[in-house]
Structure 1
């Protein structure tokens, strides 16, 4: 079975489990609330909506922060690879220099 990939099945299972938990959380938090923020008021909305919104805002903020960190690390890796190649050439050149006796 060449098309069978266990990682894909794990991802599908994880999505199903997380979706189930999100649905159970939403069903347990159907009470309505009103949000008052900076002089703006919302109409009555279920509690799970602002909680979900706050979660998503934090998630995307974390993804954004990690993307900047990843970019910095990728640049550092590229620099270190160039430095490694330069030092490897230097070592190879030093190995090829014949030894001289000062006798």
Structure 2
């Protein structure tokens, strides 16, 4: 239970540090800008907004890629466990075959 508690405090500390950096970044970048993309212009927004949006899109793209990779690895683990069981049965069967002397 001790390990679980220390992980929670580490996560809380990490969230506090990241939130502090994000807040400091936002406060330092309040300059108003207009974003133009594919012929569409945004309203006037603070500079940190498109930066955070780009960061979040990258983060969620990474999470999505991780989920697909994890799914692939889980399927491979299932296949390897089945193969291991099959090979273990084969080894057990070979151990049970009586030895024959051709003398």
Aligned pair 1:50/2:50, yes or no?
yes
Query: What TM-score comes out, normalization by structure 2 length?
Result: 0.94
Unpaired stretches in structure 2, ≥5 consecutive residues: none
Query: For residue 34 of structure 2, what is the aligned residue in structure 1?
Result: 34
Unpaired stretches in structure 1, ≥5 consecutive residues: none
Query: For residue 100 of structure 1, what is the aligned residue in structure 2?
Result: 100
SS at match of 1:5: helix
Query: How far, CA to CA, are the matches of 1:35 and 1:5 in structure 2?
Result: 44
Shift >6 Å, 4+ stretches: none
Q: Tell me by how many angstroms 1:52 deviates.
A: 0.2
Query: For residue 88 of structure 1, what is the aligned residue in structure 2?
Result: 88
Query: What TM-score comes out, normalization by structure 1 length?
Result: 0.94
Query: How far, CA to CA, are the matches of 1:12 and 1:66 in structure 2?
Result: 23
Query: How far, CA to CA, are the matches of 2:69 and 2:29 in structure 1?
Result: 36
SS at match of 1:43: coil
Equivalent residue runs for 1:1-12 within 5 Å: 5-12=5-12
Aligned Cα RMSD in Å? 1.4
Number of residue pairs the alignment of both structures matches: 102
Query: How far, CA to CA, are the matches of 2:61 and 2:42 in structure 1?
Result: 24
